Structure 1
Amino acid sequence: MSVILLGVETSCDETAAAVVENGHLVRSNTIASQFDLHGKFGGVVPEVASRRHLESINPVIRQALEEADVSFRDLDGVAVTYGPGLAGSLLVGLMAAKTIAYALDIPLFGINHLEAHIYANFLVAPDLPFPLLCLIVSGGHTDLVLITRLGEYRLLGRTRDDAAGEAFDKVARVLELGYPGGPLIEKLAREGDPEAVPFPRAYLEEGTLDFSFSGLKTAVINYLDRARREGRKVAEADVAAGFQEAVVGVLVDKVLAAARVHRPARILLAGGVAANRVLARELERRAAAEGFGVTVPPPVFCTDNAAMVACAGYYRYLHGDSSPLTLNALAGLGLGCE
């Protein structure tokens, strides 16, 4: 029997809806981006984002259903992100999903956005073995999580200040590249020498798997400010390459340090920064040398999307773990790790 779920995602600046069958067959995955809207501000403006979600949510859901060739009556449930994220943005998606669930008398599944990023890996590899080690790396989060089985997470490390994606965006801003910063820095770095401008790598105290990227971001800003004060020409591609190399180096080192201790059956990448091909290739290369396999979702499932939300909802559906219609948005929702 097929289980068809609608997924809804509005945690930040993408209005997304998807129809997924049996947890991994993506029948549609519709995303309305707001990059053009926020680019001139150099980052997401929460009030602007929530207003655009209001304009986009119904057309996006309608398009997702049409592309999947299903009607509302074909849905077995609706899964929606309820946190973490921007409160106003989350509320738009949540209210739409709750309305659909109530009107159709189908179950609602409230999904943690970070958990959804993990489940993006199950869209492409539904039979992943446990335990799993997952690096969730995005604009707002850099978390290293051990997954002992579905729904059970142990937090091994997290950022103490800027997340990796946040650092990418801030460095892109001072380089005047635009928004979002990650893809723009990756593109510019292809033209640069990662060893031309060495930047510091923060590993923190011995034994910790936590991350810190604030010092690296500040080092880049100080380097650029000093060069401009002194009238020196800045090779921005070298700066981008050196910065990216420093971020990737720390991320991969920490993941492999955790893998040596916990011996996962597989290593996963998740989140928007997982779309960075330099990070994915370096992790795959070094993990293979130590006998670990790596799964990385395609870029469209790394960045915010609703297919991953529907995938997570499918596993809730199998366990009858639905959410009440009183579910509220939780902007600061954690992953529920130990």
Structure 2
Amino acid sequence: MLSPVLTLSTVFSRFNLLREPSFPRFVRTLRTHLRQHQRQKLIWSPLISPVNSPAVGLSNYSFHSLDAETRISGTGDDLVVLGIETSCDDTAAAVVRGNGEILSQVVSSQADLLARYGGVAPKMAEEAHSQVIDQVVEQALGKANLTEMDLSAVAVTIGPGLSLCLRVGVRKARKIAGKFNLSMVGVHHMEAHALVARLIERDLQFPFLALLISGGHNLLVLALDLGQYIQLGTTIDDAIGEAYDKTARWLGLDMRRGGGPALEELAQEGDAESIKFSIPMKQHKDCNFSYAGLKTQVRLAIESKKVKAEIPISSASCEDRSSRADIAASFQRVAVLHLEERCDRAIEWALKIQPSIKYLVVSGGVASNKYVRTRLNQIVKKKGLQLVCPPPSLCTDNGVMVAWTGIEHFRLGRFDPPPPANEPDDSVFDLRPRWPLGEEYAEGRSEARSLRRARIHPSLTSIIQASLQQQS
């Protein structure tokens, strides 16, 4: 059954490989075949489907022939890829060369909107993206001293994220690719956060362990190869970045430069041992994350201290500021302790699977936090590994990580054909607001978060069991 597929295609869409990470032998065979048959031009494109058509999946994919005029300029270091990122609240674009040279990077922040609405408002974020996307892309090309005709391909984030926001970036990418007959690469946002470390640390080879921490996601993944990931732990409710933002807002901090940086700065003034917050999920011996309970503890502490968020930190009294700083420091200590515990266990699991692992990559917006880096570096050193963190400008959402991920997949033939130059307005894009990265590690499945008994207080267990025995 495998050989007919292999003889049909030399340029196979990356989506099949991302959705089937459990077949490493198939992936290796496919790669070998791709190298041997570079002249054939057939690929699968899941990026667009007509209105009311069934969702594209492994069972109903279709192959499309590339015509002779399709322009593929460069296959190695001379590749030039435009990356577009609009998954949440930043509009970003960048141009990156195949040798890792960053030709340009442009980011338009929605910090004012975040401060005004107290968080991300999807519809407002979509409108903000729409207003600046053309300008951001033009600036990225201008700073690189290039035009669309100089590009090899366009890479764009298609998930996970807010569908309204993702649509803006995908629409722009398809417009450029269609007009200039460019191939496209649909990028997984969290995979891009992990892979950008390979742009910075050129010695970073697979396999490696990655901790991805941002406002919407916490992930611990074992990266076996490009497109092959084992998920060791994930967020079961709120991510650490969201907890940072909420705590900063409750403390009346200036949100225009981000809740995380504002809270980290205030925490330096406080006593991290002053408030005894409980470490989340201490009883669960897995690698999953939960910050909802810690948020509740913080909110109760703020209420007990009678902190009024409507009074900005800049106008707070010395005593009030001190109370806020103590809460910030205590929160940060416990929030990061939770990361440390999970990373420590994940390293043990990862080394059992792949003893050759040498690196832990920490990326995502929260990886910009110096306190987080310092604490995790101590854990990594104890385990005999090395910590790799991209610079802060590449930890937060950016176009460089999207372009580089596009380059990595493009080199292996995982791209999609140019869309029609005049694409119908009613076309349905392949957006993936919820898109798992890799398959779940068996030992990482926590019964406690899936069974109702996890919500029952332990002291009630014997009473319930006795009642059930009487009924039987």
Between the aligned partners of 1:57 and 1:265, the Cα distance in structure 2 is 39
Letter in 2 for 1:274: A
Q: Which residue of structure 2 lines up, in the alignment, with residue 185 of structure 1?
A: 263
Report Cα offsets for 1:277-304 as digits up to 9, x if no partner.
Answer: 1011111123113311010000000000
Q: Does 1:270 align with 2:363?
A: yes
Residue 186 of structure 2 aligns to a residue whose secondary structure is: strand
**Cα displacement string for residues 285-332 of structure 1 (whole angstroms, at most 9, x for unaligned residues):** 231133110100000000000000001000111011113547422212
Residue type at the aligned position of 1:323:
D
SS of the equivalent of 1:331 reads coil
Cα distance in 2 for residues equivalent to 1:205 and 1:152: 30
Q: Which residue of 2 aligns with 1:293?
A: 386
Paired amino acid for 1:311: W
> Residue type of the partner of 1:289?
K
SS in 2 for 1:235: helix
Q: Give 1:122's aligned residue.
A: 198
The answer for the alignment partner of 1:316 in structure 2 is 409
Deviation at 1:204, TM superposition (A): 4.3
C-alpha distance in 1 between matches for 2:263 and 2:210: 24
Q: Distance in 2 between the 1:31 and 1:334 partners?
A: 26
Residue 192 of structure 1 and its aligned partner are, at CA, apart by 1.2
Does residue 200 (structure 1) correspond to residue 278 (structure 2)? The answer is yes
**Aligned equivalent of 2:132:** 56
- Alpha-carbon separation, structure 1, partners of 2:154 and 2:181: 10
- Deviation per CA, 1:57-101, whole angstroms, max 9, x where unpaired? 111111101111111111000000011111111111100001111
Unaligned 5+ runs, structure 1: none
Structure 2, unaligned stretches of length 5 or more?
Answer: 1-76, 308-318, 352-356, 420-427, 441-472
1:162 CA displacement: 0.8
**Aligned equivalents of 1:10 and 1:301: distance in 2?**
15
Structure 1 equivalent of residue 436 of structure 2: 334
- The letter for the 2-side match of 1:335 is L
Q: Secondary structure at the match of 1:222?
A: helix
2:118 to 42, 55, 63: 42
Match runs of 1:1-338 below 5 Å: 1-22=77-98, 24-179=100-255, 180-228=258-306, 235-263=323-351, 264-323=357-416, 325=419, 327-338=429-440
Q: Deviations over 1:181-227 (max 9, x none)?
A: 11111111111121122211013444211111111110010111122
Aligned counterpart, 2:6 = none
Taking a change above 3 Å as real, the CA distance of residues 23 and 117 of structure 1, as seen in their structure-2 partners, is: farther
Shift of residue 23, structure 1, vs aligned partner: 5.5
Alpha-carbon distance in 1 for matches of 2:99, 2:90: 22
Helix, strand or coil at the partner of 2:173: helix
Distance 1:335 1:290 in 2: 25
> 3-state SS of the aligned residue for 1:199?
coil
Amino acid at match of 1:72: E
Across the aligned residues of Structure 1 and Structure 2, the Cα RMSD in angstroms comes to: 1.6
Q: Which secondary structure does the structure 2 equivalent of 1:228 belong to?
A: coil
In structure 2, C-alpha distance between the alignment counterparts of 1:133 and 1:155, rounded to whole Å: 10
C-alpha displacement of 1:129: 2.4
- Higher mean alpha-carbon deviation, 286-295 vs 86-95, is at 286-295
TM-score (norm 2): 0.69
Paired residues of 2:78 and 2:99 also in contact (CA < 8 A): no
- TM-superposed CA distance for 1:41, in Å, is 1.4
Deviations 1:125-152 (A, max 9, x none): 1331232111111000011111111211
Residue correspondences, number:
336
- Distance across 1 between alignment mates of 2:105 and 2:340: 30
- Tell me how far apart the structure 2 counterparts of residues 167 and 103 of structure 1 sit (CA, whole Å): 42
Q: Is the 8 A contact 2:187 2:402 kept in 1?
A: yes
Q: CA deviation at 1:120?
A: 1.8
Residue identity opposite 1:277 in structure 2: K
Give the secondary structure class of the aligned counterpart of 1:110.
Answer: strand
**Separation in 1, partners of 2:113, 2:290:** 30
Identity %: 40
Q: Would the aligned equivalents of 1:139 and 1:165 in 2 still touch at CA under 8 Å?
A: yes
SS of 1:82's equivalent? strand
Matched residue type, 2:332? Q
**Aligned partner of 1:144: which letter?**
L
**Cα distance, 1:46 vs structure 2:** 0.9
Q: Distance in 2 between matches of 1:213 and 1:163?
A: 6
Deviations 1:26-46 (A, max 9, x none): 111100111012212111111
Alignment partners' CA distance in 2, 1:213 and 1:48: 26
Question: Does the CA contact (< 8 Å) of 2:167 and 2:429 recur in 1?
Answer: no
Secondary structure in 1 matching 2:305: helix
Find the residue that maps to 1:154 and give its secondary structure: strand
Q: Which moved further from structure 2: 34-43 or 68-77? A: 34-43
Instruction: Look up the equivalent residue of 2:240 and give its one-letter code.
Output: A
